[in-house]
Amino acid sequence: MSQTFRHPEILDIARRDGKVTVEGLAAHFGVTLQTIRRDLTDLAEAGRLERVHGGAVLPSGTTNIGYEERRSLNPEAKQAIARACAARIPNGISLFLNIGTSTEAVAQELLHHENLLVVTNNMNVANILVANPSCEIIVTGGHLRRADGGLIGNLAAETIRQFKFDLAVIGCSALDREGDLLDFDIQEVSVSQTILRQSRKTFLVADHTKFSRSAPARIASLADVDVFFTDRSLAPDLAAACDGWGTKVVTAP
């Protein structure tokens, strides 16, 4: 059976069961795991499914996929993006890292940086950077979102307003064709907007899976970002818009 015939049936199974697995689909169609992985990648790039660990789920414009599943999504690309981003972060600066698996990957790449002051509303980032003795860590207050270790709400924003950061590294849940950065939680969005206002320079880290996703709340525009680190080239119209805005795009190898 060709992928032309498999794809509609894969989507039907996803609608029926809410999720599809690589092993289950391989057994169902009598094909290899690699063939199904290619099918799911094609459907994800077309925006029809979202890849998760071991399979895929139907995309949602109102609900984010689970944190553990996000951690396992496109890890090699996130590491490459994080490495490219960390290479442009100098020693001896004040830095904010926000919520997200991509910013956690950046934190991992900062373990050998020196004389950093890092403020974060991400408990996971703080725990990663504990291993760097040359990094001073400040965790914002706020309401703890147990699902991903994020601190959100008015108290988090109020803490951030006490600082003026040299650099902020942020992530987002989705990036639309107009270059708007989107998220699911309006409380997180207000914190992210405060981060942008309190930072002299902003880096965005987001892999290509964010290009085909949607979320209901707008954080900002790529026009508000100094450097965007990703793993694939942007659509020509968005790349041209970034040129006009002065937003540098770095595609990690």
Ranking 123-137, 176-190, 239-253 by mean pLDDT, the lowest is 176-190
Considering all CA atoms of the chain, what is the largest pairwise distance in Å, rounded to the nearest integer?
A: 60
Amino acid at site 197: R
Residue 68 in this model has a pLDDT that exceeds 70: no
Decide which of 19 and 237 is more confident.
237
State the pLDDT at residue 51.
84
pLDDT at 2: 60
State the pTM of this model. Answer: 0.77
Span 201-213, average pLDDT: 91
Question: So what's the pLDDT on residue 63?
Answer: 58
- Please report, for residues 8, 29, 38, the alpha-carbon distance to residue 3 in angstroms, rounded to integers and kept in the order given: 9, 10, 9
Res 253 pLDDT > 90: no
Closest CA to 181 of 243, 236, 119, 238: 238
Please tell me the distance from the alpha carbon of residue 140 to that of residue 137, in angstroms, as a whole number. Answer: 10
Q: Which of the four pLDDT bands, split at 50, 70 and 90, describes residue 203?
A: very high
pLDDT number for residue 81: 98
**Owner of token pair 């991509």:** 102
At 221, which amino acid appears?
S
Instruction: Print the SS3 string covering 98-112.
Output: CCCHHHHHHHHHCCC
Confidence of residue 70 (pLDDT cuts 50, 70, 90): low
Going 214 to 217 to 222 to 225, the CA torsion angle's sign is: negative
Q: Would you place residue 75 in the very low, low, confident or very high pLDDT band (cuts 50, 70, 90)?
A: confident
Domains of the chain: residue spans and CATH: 3-59 (1.10.10.10), 75-251 (3.40.50.1360)
Q: If you average pLDDT over every residue of the chain, what do you get?
A: 91
pLDDT of residue 184: 87
**How confident is the model over 50-67, as a mean pLDDT?**
71
- Tens digit of each residue's pLDDT (9 = 90 or more) over 81-125: 999 999 999 999 999 999 999 999 999 999 999 999 999 999 999
Residue 36 has pLDDT above 80, yes or no: yes
For residue 119, the model assigns a pLDDT of 98
Q: How much is the pLDDT for 72?
A: 64
